[in-house]
Amino acid sequence: MEALRQELEDLKAAALNQIERCADATQLEQARVQLLGRKARLTGLLRQLVTLPPQDRPAIGLLANQVKQTVEEHIAARRAALESIPSDEVLATDRIDVTLPGRRPTMGRLHPLTQIIREICEIFAEMGFAVIEGPEVEWDYYNFEALNIPEDHPAREMWDTFWIDPASAKVDRPMLLRTHTSPMQIRIMEQTKPPVRIIVPGKCYRYEAVDASHESQFHQIEGLAVDEAVTFADLKGTLYAFVRRLFGNDRKIRFRCDYFPFVEPGVDMSIDCFRCKGAGCRLCKASGWLEILGAGMVHPNVLTRVGYDPARYSGFAFGLGPARVAMLKYGIDDIRLFHGNDLRFLRQFP
Ligand code: PHE
């Protein structure tokens, strides 16, 4: 009886070993027939159980059936394992090359104007200016009236623009697309007491003849600093520091007298033309200089209107064209390129 028990144990060990070594489905099927088929030793043993003495039958029978069940389970497990391994043919034809580089997603980038506006704002922020924004659709009052440009003042001609139809907008006062960011000078001073130090980036509109340096939609960055004892030297010092930071020390800067009704005295500031190196070209209108901003000391009338005492407070203001600055910085010779939607142009500004 012991011999039979031992034979069953050996048979099980050999069977499991054989199953484990099967390398494909065909070998496994051959093993199954050998181990469990009609002519298999195990099958023979099970058939001979009736010939055993009755007292031995239950124990040996139980063992033999357990061996059979274990062998069946191992065959099933091995079959599942073999099926999950791709065959040689599959490996040869359906290969994934894990060394291939991935597909690069197309990355967007900031528009060159957005980049320069952020850079300019950062420079002024470092000098203590707060960055704020304002409405693009503006009341006549803020765009002109409060800036010392009364109705019928000839200076309005300098800023011809797009007017809002009061009937369709259901407003009772004249409204327009702002021609500059200067209205924010008034809005801010109305709301706060000095000291004031702000810059205002934003879009402006004018009824312009479009050319290499003018568009009817454009950006401006307004600057305003009001406090006790602010002088024209502060204005010049601030703007020089700004230009040096942005362009380095070699750029030539020119101030000239200019007229803006809301400043006294008023100036414009130009930088030497990068394109012709000052010789004169289409971009700088043969002058050798590119105007990038208008500026001046805030007019006493403007201070009075917002309730600041002009005897105590003074301030400077400037309005800067970031597109002109970008043209100078990157050597772009036509302002229309910015909104021309040409990717070959835009991709040059990473
Ligand atoms: N707002 C003026 C313009 O658009 C520029 C300016 C701003 C001039 C502030 C003086 C002071 O031309």
Question: 317 in ligand 1 pocket by Cβ < 6 Å?
Answer: yes
Q: Which of 262, 297, 303 to mutate to test the pocket of ligand 1 (most atoms within 8 A of CB)?
A: 262
Task: Return d(Cα 303, Cα 311) in angstroms, integer.
Answer: 10
Q: Tell me the pLDDT band of 41, cut-offs 50, 70 and 90.
A: confident
Identify the pLDDT of residue 104: 87
Bridge partners, residue 293, by sequence: 269, 320
pLDDT digits (tens, 9 = 90+) for 239-250: 999 998 998 888
Task: Return d(Cα 258, Cα 254) in angstroms, integer.
Answer: 12
Q: Is 264 annotated as a binding residue?
A: yes
- Ranges of each domain in the chain: 2-94, 112-346
CA distance between the termini of the chain: 87
pLDDT digits (tens, 9 = 90+) for 177-232: 999 999 999 999 999 999 999 999 999 999 888 787 788 899 999 999 999 999 99
Lowest mean pLDDT among 75-79, 81-85, 104-108, 282-286: 282-286
Q: Which of 157, 159, 182, 222 to mutate to test the pocket of ligand 1 (most atoms within 8 A of CB)?
A: 182
**% of the chain exceeding 70 in pLDDT:** 100
Question: 294 in ligand 1 pocket by Cβ < 6 Å?
Answer: yes
Q: Is the pTM of this model over 0.85?
A: no
Identify the pLDDT of residue 264: 95
Which class in CATH covers the domain with range 112-346? alpha beta
Per annotation, catalytic residue among 146, 302, 317, 323: 317
Question: 202 in ligand 1 pocket by Cβ < 6 Å?
Answer: no
Question: Of all protein residues, whose CA lies closest to atom 12 belonging to ligand 1?
Answer: 294
Task: Return d(Cα 282, Cα 293) in angstroms, integer.
Answer: 19
What sign does the dihedral 115-117-123-127 (CA atoms) show? negative
348 noted as active-site residue: no
